[in-house]
Structure 1
Amino acid sequence: MTTEQRQVGNLPQSRTETVGRAAELAEIERLFEESSPEGPVRLVTLTGVGGVGKTRVALDAAAALQPRFRDGAWLVELSPLRQGALLAHTIAETLPLADQTTRPMIDVLAEYLAERELLLVLDTCEHLTDACALAAEALMRAAPGLRILATSRRILDVVGERVLIIEPLPVPEVDDARAGTADAVVLLILRAQEAVPGFTVTDADRADLVRLCRRLDGLPLAIELAAARLRDLPVRELTARLDDRFAVLGDTDGVAHDAEPPWHQALRTAIGWSHQLCTPAERLLWARLSVFAGSFDADRVRQVCADDHLPARQIPAVLGTLVEKSILIWQPTGGGERYRMLDTLREYGAHWLRGLGEEDTLRRRHRDHYLALARRGDAAWIGPYQFAWFDRMTAEHDNLRAALDCSLTESEGRSEGHIALEMAAALWFFWQECGFVREGRHYLDLALATDTAPSPARVKALYACGLVLLYLGDPPALEERAAECTALAAYFGDTERSYAAATGLRASVMSGDLEQAVSRAEALLATDWRERTLTLIPLSALVLLTHSLVTVGRFEEAFAWLDELSAAGERSGERSMCAWGDFVRAEAELALGRFPEAQERARAALLVKHRLRDGVGTGLALEVLARAAAATGRHQDAAWLLGLAAQLWETLGRPQPGSPAVNAARQVCERRTRETLGEDAYRHAFDAGRTTDLNTGIAHALDPAAAPPLLR
């Protein structure tokens, strides 16, 4: 049997060489090996001033430790996160654990980690220390195989926490011949060679390089900023200018310092000096970029940051020069070029933005841009560009959160809360179709509680709640939201009444009243929807109707409606709901004993659902393939596919999803396969599927000819 190992982490590969830090890495390793009467060390926090390189040390340490952890090392980037309430969601999404239950996410995480041996790297905790401390305590209590490596300017203050202060790189006190081999000087030379093609060090330069590193106190970020300036200035002049800047600055650099983070003076001086040497356009863009969370692309920057003072046509060039000056990090991706800014530099830009009196204006422009993006995605999702919209919106996840948080936290009246309500509702497709149903419920509940006035936006938000609650499997909450949606929609127009009818249909399906579900779906489809622009409502009604008909054995009626769904998909180019139609058709073909047809439809559903990271759809399609394999005597294949599906269900937080009929069919398949193979052979094949890399396993399931021997 051939298996591929599961993914064992998400640590990024370093783009540049690490200099020094051998002692720190050895100490981290020693701390995790240390034991006390209370047990082994479970949590190590790296602390130190901004720009000292805590993240780099943590990533290097995690890479070295990863082989010791059966389930890998996972980096959780907390810098873009502003709400402690979403900390557990963020950890889960990283692992990945796309939970789709109603249990508290911290409990789901604890259960997921309980039997795992895993290193969690919580990076940049200082703005969420209370939430991080509570989460660390809960997770370590539940998961004895878990170790946590945190980076923070403030310790987490958790019992058993070991703290390692990351100091600046050593700089020699004298300019002798050995000074050029000091870590700080080596780092400066390496980064200068990366920034300036052909850069070399002469004997005359060495003393200036050492003096420059000493002036910057060996802080890696300050050194990297200085290295970027060597494009424009020789070493001696650069050092002289920095000396002048220290003399002029004293304790201030012109930035408003109320509530200032505890920056080291050398770092603040280096940043302020780099800032002073930027052009006015570069300084202005640096400040305005601080409103973005996570990464961003040039198009978003143009739309949020451009105005008469910073024309849109200048934006690409200014982004490029900020990359050259090490203010921005350029990140090429499959979807195009993106940029990000280190936290310390973002904080500096935010101080300048506040000093310019633009902070509120730019945050609202950022919020309004992402509201407009959500509206466009809402309008375009049912169409031929779903995959492109999926990629676009998942790339902007951090910024969507920031825009929603802005609306929810700034509100001093109805208008701000109403924007949050409209945006959370418009993002229904992001919550349901892109795999963020738990987060969708979080934001929808907050928005509905913030703006309680009757409005069409509230009706739509209640409808969006119905979408996520069906996925989460919460019948009481769905019934409650459906009742309010129906009562409120009566005061508005046809669109709102259709939202209410669709939400009621979901409640019927959730309650198991399939006859009522059929009646409600047929009522929704007894309109002229075929002549109108296609929306989610008739598509989802077709899926829920055909599912109900197949469940009660009315196959011919189901096939007729499935043909309607296929035709609608061909006209519009829609993929996601049509993939649900493929799954329903596969279920019907399986029930009728037409196994090749069932496999063909299940693979069609699997292809789309996996591309959209729809865990429920992916798992259900895999189980249809397993049942078809068992029905045709390929019991080893069936066990392997059941194991692959079980691996996926673990990431969703519910091991047996689906309707009662689907659950019953799964159990029958498991029992018969186990009886046919015998316990040992069944467990061998099942475990092979469960430990195969999920993406590799799904690729095999989609193309049997390329599958390992077990699936041939």
Structure 2
Amino acid sequence: MTAVTASTCRGRPSGGLPAEVTSFVGRRHEVAEVKQLLSASRVVTLTGVGGVGKTRLALRVGVEVRRAFRDGVWLVELGALDCPAMLDQVVTEALEIRDHTGDPPMRVLTRFLRDKQLLLILDNCEHMVGDCAVLAEALLKAAPDLRVLATSRQALGIAGEQAVSVAPLPLPGREEPRPPLDALVRQDAVRLFVERARAVLPSFEITEDNRDVVTRIVRRLDGLPLGIELAAVRLRALSAEELLQRLDDRFRLLTAGSRAVLPRHQTLRALIDWSYTLCLDHERLLWQRASVFAGGLDLEAAEAVCSGDGIAREDVIDLVIGLVDKSVLMREGHPGGVRYRMLETLRQYGRQRLADSGAEAELQTRHRRYYRDLAARARAEVFGPHQVAWFGRLQREHHNLRAALDSWLSTPAQTGAALGMAGDLLYHWITSYYLGEGRDWLRRALSADAASRGAPEPVRGRALWAASWLAVIQADIPAATAMLEEARRLGEGAGDEAVLAYVALFSGMVAMCEGRTPAAIELYRDALARHRRTGDPAGIALSLIRLTLAHSFSGDSSRAVAAGEESLSVCEAHGDAWHKAYTMMALGVEVWRQGDLARATELETESLTFNRVMGDRLGAGLNIEVLAWIAAGQGRSQRAARLLGVLEGMWTSVGAPLSGYGHLIRYHEECRAALREELGETAFEAALRRGARMPTEEALAYALGEEGRAEQAGREEPAAAPLTRREKEIAELVAQGLTNKEIAASLVIAQRTAEGHVEHIMTKLGFTSRAQIAVWVGEQARADGQDGLS
């Protein structure tokens, strides 16, 4: 049997915090102050104007206090969220809680957090400060060991809150005699300017000749980090003197602005206005159009949505490079490719310019159509070799998918498109942390479509059976039954074999949940026959997986194994990995039941290896369940009890034990009772607690039997060769197959410079070919992704 692999990894590094991509400058006093306040107060809010560095300060504090919080430090990014009603759900997703209960998100959150020692960073609260205040207060009351660190332009205004006003970076004084040059360079504002200037002009230095000009630049920018960073990048094209001259001119134009607005707000607006005017006409147009994206975009999306009406598709890449060069767009490398992100302040500025131009509605239409089509393409690839790559891509596009769905639902007579899109994203809802949200989108779209009847019957039928699967996973059997009955009526009326096949499949799952195993088997057989007639390999695999489990549960081993082996053949013939992992889980249950513990271990371990990389908590939980039963059968009682302890925390995060596989609870309870009797109450409970306290990655390694090897590898593995940020960026481009000339064009550097970087990379890593660099980049991406699982 071939190993299950995944081409992309989920999760974030540092247990919920993104990696820092630029150096953190200064703020030592503020970091110390916020850390001290967090030790004494349960909620601290960093306030200040846009661009002052509240987010960077919060993230730095989070990194430094991480060890003090047993359950981690978690970032909730709210800048791209426009709908306050989604706030609870967004926090749930940021904590990577998979809710299978169907409970309201707030109830899920309070239940999950009540025994957690955790720091929650709520970033960019200003546009929904009241809702954030209500949320924070409710969570703090429910979870005694929770701390909240918020960033906002105003305090939340809740009891016990400590507000810290984040000031601009300290500026050089005007004292005479002037301080020595080395003292000037240590000033935070000057140091930030120099570091960011060197990123675009490596030869830049503070000298006696330019010190006064640099001092005046950072003063004119009021020490605002965003302003300094946006200005420093202009040194690629301007001298420091030219930069200062243009800053002065621009600010004088705005002296007649409203005195009711804080001066720093005027300064930031002036700086962004100035950055906008420095762009070429087509770059400004792309800036406006790119602001319609939520949470970032890739080049394909930029070409599809932003081209036309003045921008040729083939020119988009050059315009993107121009905006990256001007720090309007930020380039981010991902295992699936390069993405671009705009600072929220700049995105809001571009969105206002877009609205003023009268083109906002047209761009929203393009945006939602693009993501509707993207969802349809993902559905077409749901069973095959590109499946996992699509799972990762949809994960990265989640904010845009959400915005598109909301736009479709908000557009009269377009509810059918919303319904089709929500149904097409079924596997995204199941394989990510968005099951509850996906069910809500389907519920809203089904309700809207019932009123307008805008969707064709096959689309509504598909949405109904998709929503029923989510309801089954959440153990909401009455809702699933009602939706399946409506889908059945639609399928029979239209003679739609595909809809009837899935109705039979999920009706079988309902029957298994209700203890009607013979009826379930007949329904699964009906589903399998229909899926074979329609030629749907995903439906065939799902039916065979469920037949494997049902035959096993009824004691029919030969049919269970036959169904499982056929499912493996179907998956392998199509290059599918996700369904294959679940097939191996199901086969592992039957092989364990037969007493072949070695083979069962092999199946569950291979399945768990895939689910670990995918971040599929439900799949991993099922694997660990079977591995616990296997360990008990091998007489490894302590290991079995610890694995059951691991499951207590894992099933809590998922939302319900054995969600969608409730008939297996019998084996769980039998194993638990046998271990309690064998170990005794005290030893059994101690082993459970030990397993429940294990961090997720450590628990997964323990379940896979890797804990000893991992520790040994940690002692023996040499440190990775240190690459600079620029070298890592170039290494990623090499891995993507770019030539030195193409790398130079992408980064807007000389080809000779690119060649020199590649040579340095090979020297540092001890490599002799570009192919070795590509392999190394892939290994680093996989390692980073696994480190980020939590």
Please confirm whether the aligned pair reaches a TM-score higher than 0.5, indicating the same fold. yes
Deviation at 1:317, TM superposition (A): 2.6
SS at match of 2:205: coil
User: Residue 767 of structure 2 corresponds to which residue in structure 1?
Assistant: none
Whose relative contact order is higher, 1 or 2, with alpha carbons under 8 Å and at least 6 apart? 2
Residue type of the partner of 2:613?
R
User: Residue 184 of structure 1 corresponds to which residue in structure 2?
Assistant: 189
SS at match of 1:488: helix
Q: Deviations over 1:222-266 (max 9, x none)?
A: 11111111111111121111111122344579xxxxxx9997011
Residue type of the partner of 2:448?
T
Q: Any residues of structure 2 matched to 1:153-192 within 5 Å, and which?
A: 153-172=153-172, 174=174, 176=176, 177-178=178-179, 180=184, 182-192=187-197
Q: 1:197 to 1:599 in 2, by over 3 A?
A: same
C-alpha separation in 1, matches of 2:692 and 2:527: 41
C-alpha separation in 2, matches of 1:485 and 1:232: 62
User: Residue 114 of structure 1 corresponds to which residue in structure 2?
Assistant: 114
Bigger drift between 476-485 and 7-16 goes to: 7-16
Q: 1:122 to 1:261 in 2, by over 3 A?
A: farther
C-alpha separation in 1, matches of 2:663 and 2:484: 24
Tell me whether 1:514 sits opposite 2:512 in the alignment.
no
C-alpha separation in 1, matches of 2:171 and 2:264: 19
Residue type of the partner of 2:396?
A
User: Residue 462 of structure 1 corresponds to which residue in structure 2?
Assistant: 464
Q: 1:571 to 1:190 in 2, by over 3 A?
A: closer
C-alpha separation in 1, matches of 2:510 and 2:151: 45
C-alpha separation in 1, matches of 2:109 and 2:13: 18
Residue type of the partner of 2:247?
L
Bigger drift between 461-470 and 79-88 goes to: 79-88
Tell me whether 1:331 sits opposite 2:336 in the alignment.
no
Residue in structure 1 matching 2:602, options 600, 603, 606: 600
Residue in structure 2 matching 1:585, options 584, 587, 603: 587
C-alpha separation in 2, matches of 1:338 and 1:169: 30
SS at match of 2:493: coil
C-alpha separation in 2, matches of 1:577 and 1:66: 36
Q: Any residues of structure 2 matched to 1:293-692 within 5 Å, and which?
A: 293-307=294-308, 309-409=310-410, 411=411, 413-414=412-413, 416-452=414-450, 453=453, 455-494=457-496, 495-527=498-530, 529-530=531-532, 533-655=535-657, 657=659, 659-679=661-681, 681-692=683-694
Q: Any residues of structure 2 matched to 1:23-62 within 5 Å, and which?
A: 23-34=29-40, 41-62=41-62
Q: Deviations over 1:59-110 (max 9, x none)?
A: 1222233232222211111122222233223222222322221222211211
Residue type of the partner of 2:170?
P
User: Residue 205 of structure 2 corresponds to which residue in structure 1?
Assistant: 200
User: Residue 22 of structure 2 corresponds to which residue in structure 1?
Assistant: 16
Residue type of the partner of 2:33?
E
Bigger drift between 142-151 and 696-705 goes to: 696-705
1:42·1:148 contact (CA, 8 Å) conserved in 2? yes
2:501·2:526 contact (CA, 8 Å) conserved in 1? no
SS at match of 1:491: helix
1:435·1:615 contact (CA, 8 Å) conserved in 2? no
Q: 1:694 to 1:481 in 2, by over 3 A?
A: same
C-alpha separation in 2, matches of 1:663 and 1:707: 32
Deviation at 1:538, TM superposition (A): 2.8
C-alpha separation in 2, matches of 1:8 and 1:674: 36
Deviation at 1:600, TM superposition (A): 2.1
C-alpha separation in 2, matches of 1:696 and 1:70: 13
Deviation at 1:52, TM superposition (A): 0.9
Bigger drift between 430-439 and 139-148 goes to: 430-439
User: Residue 37 of structure 1 corresponds to which residue in structure 2?
Assistant: none
User: Residue 732 of structure 2 corresponds to which residue in structure 1?
Assistant: none
Q: Any residues of structure 2 matched to 1:226-305 within 5 Å, and which?
A: 226-251=231-256, 264-305=265-306
Q: Deviations over 1:204-225 (max 9, x none)?
A: 3222222222222221111111
SS at match of 1:515: helix
Q: Deviations over 1:447-495 (max 9, x none)?
A: 1122212632211111110111111111111112112222233332323
Q: Deviations over 1:358-380 (max 9, x none)?
A: 21111111111111110011111
Identity of aligned residues (%): 39
1:646·1:690 contact (CA, 8 Å) conserved in 2? yes
Q: 1:590 to 1:172 in 2, by over 3 A?
A: closer
Residue type of the partner of 1:429?
Y
SS at match of 1:391: helix
Aligned-residue Cα RMSD (Å) equals 2.6
2:372·2:421 contact (CA, 8 Å) conserved in 1? yes
Deviation at 1:160, TM superposition (A): 2.4
Q: 1:561 to 1:172 in 2, by over 3 A?
A: closer
SS at match of 1:526: helix
SS at match of 1:119: strand
Deviation at 1:427, TM superposition (A): 0.8
Q: 1:262 to 1:141 in 2, by over 3 A?
A: farther
Q: 1:695 to 1:64 in 2, by over 3 A?
A: closer
C-alpha separation in 1, matches of 2:96 and 2:298: 25
Deviation at 1:424, TM superposition (A): 0.3
Deviation at 1:590, TM superposition (A): 1.8
1:288·1:353 contact (CA, 8 Å) conserved in 2? yes
Bigger drift between 313-322 and 358-367 goes to: 313-322
Deviation at 1:704, TM superposition (A): 6.0
* Gap runs ≥5 in structure 2: 1-11, 713-790
* Gap runs ≥5 in structure 1: 1-5, 35-40, 254-259
Residue type of the partner of 2:195?
L
SS at match of 1:490: helix
User: Residue 213 of structure 1 corresponds to which residue in structure 2?
Assistant: 218
Bigger drift between 673-682 and 535-544 goes to: 673-682
Equivalent pairs, count: 689
Deviation at 1:440, TM superposition (A): 0.8
Q: 1:246 to 1:46 in 2, by over 3 A?
A: same
Residue type of the partner of 1:458?
R
1:644·1:697 contact (CA, 8 Å) conserved in 2? yes
1:485·1:503 contact (CA, 8 Å) conserved in 2? no
Deviation at 1:706, TM superposition (A): 5.8
2:332·2:340 contact (CA, 8 Å) conserved in 1? yes
1:47·1:165 contact (CA, 8 Å) conserved in 2? yes
User: Residue 105 of structure 2 corresponds to which residue in structure 1?
Assistant: 105
Report the TM-score, using the length of structure 2 for normalisation.
0.82
1:701·1:707 contact (CA, 8 Å) conserved in 2? no
Deviation at 1:696, TM superposition (A): 4.2
Deviation at 1:384, TM superposition (A): 2.1
C-alpha separation in 2, matches of 1:708 and 1:47: 43
Deviation at 1:47, TM superposition (A): 1.5
User: Residue 67 of structure 2 corresponds to which residue in structure 1?
Assistant: 67
C-alpha separation in 1, matches of 2:523 and 2:344: 52
2:465·2:499 contact (CA, 8 Å) conserved in 1? no
SS at match of 2:49: coil
